[in-house]
Structure 1
Amino acid sequence: MIPTRSEEGREAVRWVEAHRSYLQEQAAVNDRLGQTAIASVERLRCAGLLGVSAPKPSGGLGLTSLHDVSLLVKEIAAADGSVGVALSMHFALAVYFARTAAASNDADLVQRQWLRELGSGAMVLASAVAEPGLEAWRPATEARKDADGWTVSGRKILVSNSPSATHLYTRVRCVGPDGTRMGSAMIPVAARGVEVLDDWDGLGLRGSGSGTVILDEVRLPDRSMRPGGPWGRPDPNDLEGRAAASIPIVAAYLGIAQAASDIALADFARDSPGVRRRSEATAIRWYVADMTVAYAEAEAVFQRSLERIDEVFGSTAPRSADSEVGRRIMRDCLIASLTVERETTRVIDAAMQICGGRAFTADHPLARCYRDAKAAAFMRPFSPPERFVEFLLPGSTEA
């Protein structure tokens, strides 16, 4: 068990424990029906859990530790992988806003307002970044500048948590008098021209609501658009933010491994005496040992990577780390992602052997873990996901 580093983190994890049974029950229902976990997200919102990074006067816990936010996501995912993945970006964005506000008394007033809305439960976030066949630094979604603000049009896919969200944090191609740049915008779901299609029908993570969002001539004021780096090519200064956004997602998959291990160990412990007691079989005992080692390996690599990433975020202001530091923590994040992906599969395979043939039935929680974990290969920190090797090769300058 990876310990939290702050009292706020410990309190947030305790809050999850209070709702674990509800999340587990809803996970089975949502998976069977293929419906978004709206009720589970709403339950956590009403409990105040989605606002933990807001300052205490605003209704939050003041949780500014990326380390502890990642462990919070892990615990949610251990109860329901879909909800853990769906909310990972909400928590990553919220803690980023909190760190920005804490870094300076002159922090962006808009982000302070977002924190107040998070603390009150009025803001639930989804990250609308992915587009079909396009890298993160080459979005086709376009924002055009005029005298009154911006007009945004485009199509986003795999927008996890979008059916539950009140706001979409998105990346766009900004076209203005000074040329073309990257930009990021906060778009209210209620804004005219926003259409959230609850059309997700995945093999796993069936409750994550990872559907399509259409933006059709959405009008935004200047304050809702934030300038970024160059459009059309990787920005080496963006790696810090990508690592911060990605490590909570990796934590969610570790939570899925934790859930599978817990299910199998509970089954192994309650094996009752009879003519055929599976827990006494050498093969089953070997699977228990192998599962234990696999989870320990995943947890150890994740913990080390999380600590290295958190050291950077604890000692530098947001977006102030140089590009080499950004590359180093992005590499750490990738190593954690690949290790957790592989070892989670190993954990689940062993867990299914321990539980026997019933684990192959569609409504068994291990069957859900198996399908949920398969999405990890398509959610790696580097984009496109299959190019991670280039990033890890010695001497590579790929960003």
Structure 2
Amino acid sequence: MPLLYEPVPVDSHPAPAAAPRQVPHRIQTDAEALAVARRVAAELAPGAAQRDRERLLPWTELDTFVASGLWAITVPKALGGAGVSAGTLAEVTALIAEADSSLGQIPQNHFYALEVLRVGGSPAQQRFFYGEVLAGRRLGNALAEIGHKDFQRRTRLIPDGDGWRVQGRKFYCTGAVYAHWIPTLVVAEEAGRPLQYLAFVPRDAQGVDITDDWDGFGQRVTGSGSVAFDHVRVEADWVVPFQTSFERPTTIGPVAQLLHAAIDLGVARAALAATLPFVREEARPWIDAKVARAAEDPLLIQQVGETTVQLRAAEALLRRASRFVDAAQAAPGERSVAEASIAVAEARVQTTTAALDASTRLFELGGTAATLDHRGLDRFWRNARTHTLHDPVRWKYHAVGNFFLNDRLPPRHGAL
């Protein structure tokens, strides 16, 4: 098959992202956001298989994505953005993920940081960072750490005159390779108590070292590698409260999880969309079916029906969860945020099921020919299996069951 790109060697320490080439389009409404997302998805989809196969980092595609205005759709209307609903944000994410799930995941933490900023940032911080996003600058992330069995964060925020220094190392830093700012989860000692903050670190600051060492078998071009901070200077105005935003009911966790659910929904849609023409045009009927075409096999038809129903249920639960998130954002309280978390957990269970089911049945129904490497159909399962491991579905079931059986509110953190 002809190549859409010339293969390039992977630079394990890529240079910082260039400044935006143009000021992004200003999306005004939810309807416009969805229309733009459909157009951008159609532009991004053709190269997805090759980007995955050759691990081609999507710099050009990201420029197109950002220039469309989609990365600024959650900026509040009062500050120049579209202030779209949670449902629109979820559907935009699903549309992009259907085209290329890596590109759907890259801005997940960008939107997460914007929600942290909306909830806990000062008016001056909001004006500044929302302005950066409207100008086309991307936010990455440096939240997780590995190498320890506990979940304590060890990256420190150290006082330095009228500012701070950041010292530590992170992994699973999705989007950091492509970012202009890297929101980083840090710990500072205050009155003998460790408190967590989100420090917005400039990508090109002295002491920031990004290693493109993500080698997972799925979501291969998300840039989810390592970031090291060697006494990196950050200004006081770049540090936003984080822990205190979870000590009261806020929608940071539900928004984060809604985006993850949307990514998995996009993978499920893409896998089913790839299955149908393959079965019609390529798959061979099983001899006992006694039919001329695989698409006439009654047992195969039944499984396509099952997969479609799983997908439709996932879409419905995601839309329902979005309404709960909107309600909790409008009136955050113990109950409204808990209900949003549970609704999103229900959606996460179903989108996980739909993504894994659709991407697995592609091979079951397509047969051995579907496994041929040049077809690239394995990427749907690899991407679904990798992304759905973000946090365990078994604990989603537990949260839902405990809520309805015992009226136990779910914990407030980024995984619910």
CA contact (8 A) 1:36 1:163 kept: no
CA contact (8 A) 1:158 1:211 kept: yes
Partner SS state of residue 183, structure 2: strand
Partner SS state of residue 141, structure 2: strand
> CA separation in 1, counterparts of 2:108 and 2:243?
24
> CA separation in 1, counterparts of 2:77 and 2:346?
35
> CA separation in 1, counterparts of 2:119 and 2:273?
34
Post-superposition Cα deviations, 1:338-368, rounded to whole Å, max 9, x if no partner, equal 2211122112222333333232123434311
Partner SS state of residue 204, structure 2: coil
Closer/same/farther in 2, CA of residues 361 and 8 from structure 1, 3 Å limit: farther
Letter in 2 for 1:10: A
Residue 53 (structure 1) aligns with: 74
Post-superposition Cα deviations, 1:209-234, rounded to whole Å, max 9, x if no partner, equal 1111111101111111123437xxx9
Task: After TM superposition, give the deviation of residue 23 of structure 1 in Å.
Answer: 1.6
Q: Which of the residues 29, 37, 41 maps onto 1:20?
A: 41
Residue 129 (structure 2) aligns with: 114
> CA separation in 2, counterparts of 1:153 and 1:40?
32
Letter in 2 for 1:18: R
Partner SS state of residue 62, structure 1: coil
Q: Which of the residues 301, 307, 311 maps onto 2:323?
A: 307
Closer/same/farther in 2, CA of residues 364 and 7 from structure 1, 3 Å limit: farther
Q: TM-score, normalised by structure 1?
A: 0.84
Task: After TM superposition, give the deviation of residue 134 of structure 1 in Å.
Answer: 6.0
Letter in 2 for 1:41: L
Q: Which of the residues 312, 318, 322 maps onto 2:333?
A: 322
Partner SS state of residue 160, structure 1: coil
Closer/same/farther in 2, CA of residues 140 and 95 from structure 1, 3 Å limit: closer
Alignment of 1:166-181 (within 5 A): 166-176=180-190, 179-181=193-195
Q: TM-score, normalised by structure 2?
A: 0.80
Post-superposition Cα deviations, 1:76-121, rounded to whole Å, max 9, x if no partner, equal 00000111111222234346656889xxxxx611211211221121
CA contact (8 A) 2:349 2:396 kept: no
RMSD over equivalenced CA pairs, Å:
3.1
Letter in 1 for 2:64: R
Q: Which of the residues 346, 359, 362 maps onto 1:335?
A: 346
Residue 58 (structure 2) aligns with: 37
Residue 16 (structure 2) aligns with: none
Query: What is the aligned-residue identity percentage?
Result: 23
Partner SS state of residue 35, structure 2: helix
Matched, 1:70 2:81: no
Matched, 1:362 2:377: no
Deviates more, 1:326-335 or 1:164-173: 326-335
Residue 285 (structure 1) aligns with: 301
CA contact (8 A) 2:218 2:387 kept: no
Q: Which of the residues 277, 302, 311 maps onto 1:266?
A: 277
Alignment of 1:206-217 (within 5 A): 206-217=220-231
Letter in 2 for 1:292: T
Task: After TM superposition, give the deviation of residue 186 of structure 1 in Å.
Answer: 0.8
Partner SS state of residue 251, structure 2: helix
> CA separation in 2, counterparts of 1:354 and 1:190?
49
Residue 188 (structure 1) aligns with: 202
Task: After TM superposition, give the deviation of residue 191 of structure 1 in Å.
Answer: 0.9
CA contact (8 A) 2:109 2:140 kept: yes
Q: Which of the residues 93, 111, 129 maps onto 2:143?
A: 129
CA contact (8 A) 1:69 1:95 kept: no
Deviates more, 1:195-204 or 1:38-47: 38-47
Deviates more, 1:328-337 or 1:213-222: 328-337
> CA separation in 1, counterparts of 2:69 and 2:340?
31
> CA separation in 1, counterparts of 2:277 and 2:351?
22
Residue 100 (structure 2) aligns with: 80
Q: Which of the residues 131, 153, 158 maps onto 2:167?
A: 153
> CA separation in 2, counterparts of 1:398 and 1:48?
34
Residue 200 (structure 1) aligns with: 214
Letter in 2 for 1:212: S
Matched, 1:247 2:258: yes
Residue 296 (structure 1) aligns with: 312
> CA separation in 2, counterparts of 1:94 and 1:179?
26
- The count of residues paired between Structure 1 and Structure 2 equals 376
Letter in 1 for 2:51: N
Partner SS state of residue 368, structure 1: helix
> CA separation in 2, counterparts of 1:135 and 1:390?
22
Closer/same/farther in 2, CA of residues 327 and 138 from structure 1, 3 Å limit: farther
Q: Which of the residues 29, 51, 55 maps onto 1:8?
A: 29
> CA separation in 2, counterparts of 1:280 and 1:369?
25
Partner SS state of residue 129, structure 1: coil
Closer/same/farther in 2, CA of residues 363 and 90 from structure 1, 3 Å limit: farther
Task: After TM superposition, give the deviation of residue 21 of structure 1 in Å.
Answer: 3.9
Task: After TM superposition, give the deviation of residue 303 of structure 1 in Å.
Answer: 2.2
> CA separation in 2, counterparts of 1:376 and 1:54?
26
Post-superposition Cα deviations, 1:58-84, rounded to whole Å, max 9, x if no partner, equal 8x6513322211111110000001111
Closer/same/farther in 2, CA of residues 309 and 114 from structure 1, 3 Å limit: same
Letter in 1 for 2:29: E
